[in-house]
Amino acid sequence: MSPSDPNSVGGLVFYDGGGNVKTGGLLTDSPVAAYVEGQAVVRAGDTKATLYGYLPGGSGEQLSRTTIYPNTSAPAPLDSSFLPIVTGNAGDESLATLIEDFPSTDGIYELRVVTSAPGKGANTTYDSILVSVDTVAGTWQL
Residue 88 is assigned to a structural domain of this protein: yes
CB contact set of 138 (below 8 Å; sequence gap of 6+): 26, 27, 28, 96
pLDDT the model gives residue 1:
64
DSSP state of 71: -
Residue 3 is assigned to a structural domain of this protein: no
Q: Give residue-wise pLDDT tens across range 15-63.
A: 999 999 999 999 999 999 999 999 998 899 999 999 999 998 889 999 9
Q: Give residue-wise pLDDT tens across range 6-16.
A: 999 999 999 99
* Mean pLDDT of all residues in 59-72: 96
Residue 34 is assigned to a structural domain of this protein: yes
Count the domains in the chain: 1
How far CA 107 is from CA of 46, 55, 83, in Å, comes to: 32, 9, 28
Domain that holds residue 94: 8-118+126-141
* Mean pLDDT of all residues in 75-93: 95
